[in-house]
Amino acid sequence: MATVISNERLTDGVYQLRVAGDYGGEMGQFYMLRAWGAYPLLSRPLSIHQVHEDGIEFLYHVVGEGTELLAGLVPGAPLSLEGPFGRGFPQVDGKVALVGGGIGIAPLFYCAKQLPGCDIYLGFSREPFRAEAFRPFAAELTVNVGGLVLDSVDFSAYDHVFVCGPLSMLKAAQLKGFAAAEAGSRARVHLSLENRMACGIGACLVCSVSCRDGQRKACTDGPVFLSEEVVFHD
C-alpha cells in the first residue's frame, strides 16, 4: 500500500494527488488507483502527472463514486497503486506541440518536463488550473479559456503533436491532422484516449478501441495511438 502525501483541491472538482513511494513510468502511462474495499468494483485509471524521487503525482477530476472517494483522501491515508500500465507517448525528436483540454492536461505535464522547449497549448472551459506550472518547460505557452484551443495550433509547424482531452477534441485533432497531411505536413499526431477501463492489463474488453486494423485495447495497445490508427464513430 502507498501513502498519501497531499491531496490538494485546485479548482471545482479538480484535485492534485501526491503519493509517497518509489514509482515511475513513461510519458502517457497510467496507474490503477484504489482507496476502498469491494465497492466500487473497479479501480480508477489515472495518468502520470509527475514523478518525484520520493513519490508520484496524479491530476484528476471528480466525475463519479470512485473519484469522489479519492477526493476525500487525507495525508497519511493508505492507497493501492498498480502500474505503470499501457503504451504512452513515444520519445521523439524534432519540434513538438503538446495540446491538452481540461483534465487532459494531466499526462502532458510529465511530457513537458521530458521534452523541454516544446510549444504547449492548454484549453479550459472555465477556470484554468496548473497552467502556469507548464511555463518553465515551454518555448511558447498558449492558454485558451472558453474557446477552442486547437484553433491556435498550426499542425504543419511541428514534427509531432501530442493531444489529450475530451473525445470531441480528439476527433477534431484527427481531422486537423488529416488536413495538414494532405497539404504536405510531416506532423505525426499522437492521441491519448480516455476510454473507461476495468482491469488495466488487457484481460477484459471494457476499453476496446476501434482501429483501422480491428479492435484494440486502450489499456495495453494504448492509451496513446497514432491519429491515423483510430476510427471514431459518430
pLDDT tens for 180-200 read 999 999 999 999 997 666 666
User: What confidence score (pLDDT) does residue 158 get?
Assistant: 97
* CA 87 – CA 217 distance, rounded (Å): 10
User: What confidence score (pLDDT) does residue 68 get?
Assistant: 96
User: What confidence score (pLDDT) does residue 205 get?
Assistant: 66
User: What confidence score (pLDDT) does residue 89 get?
Assistant: 97
User: What confidence score (pLDDT) does residue 199 get?
Assistant: 65
User: What confidence score (pLDDT) does residue 138 get?
Assistant: 97
User: What confidence score (pLDDT) does residue 177 get?
Assistant: 96
Pick the closest to residue 179 from 162, 159, 148, 154 (CA basis): 154
User: What confidence score (pLDDT) does residue 217 get?
Assistant: 84
Per-residue three-class SS string for the chain: CEEEEEEEEEECCEEEEEEECCCCCCCCCEEEEECCCCCCCCCEEEECCEEECCEEEEEEECCCHHHHHHHCCCCCCEEEEEEEECECCCCCCCCEEEEEEHHHHHHHHHHHHHCCCEEEEEEECCCCCCHHHHHHHEEEEEEEECCCHHHHCCHHHCCEEEEECCHHHHHHHHHHHHHHHHCCCCCEEEEECCCCCCCCCCCCCCCEEEECCEEEECCCCCEEEEHHHECCCC
Grid coordinates of 68: 469522489
- Residue 134's region, left for phi above 0, alpha for psi from -120 to 50, else beta, is alpha
User: What confidence score (pLDDT) does residue 201 get?
Assistant: 66
> Within the chain, which residues score under 50 in pLDDT?
none
User: What confidence score (pLDDT) does residue 161 get?
Assistant: 98
pTM of the full structure: 0.94
User: What confidence score (pLDDT) does residue 74 get?
Assistant: 98
Distance of CA 115 to the CA centre of its chain: 15
- Do 87 and 217 contact (CB within 8 A), yes or no? no
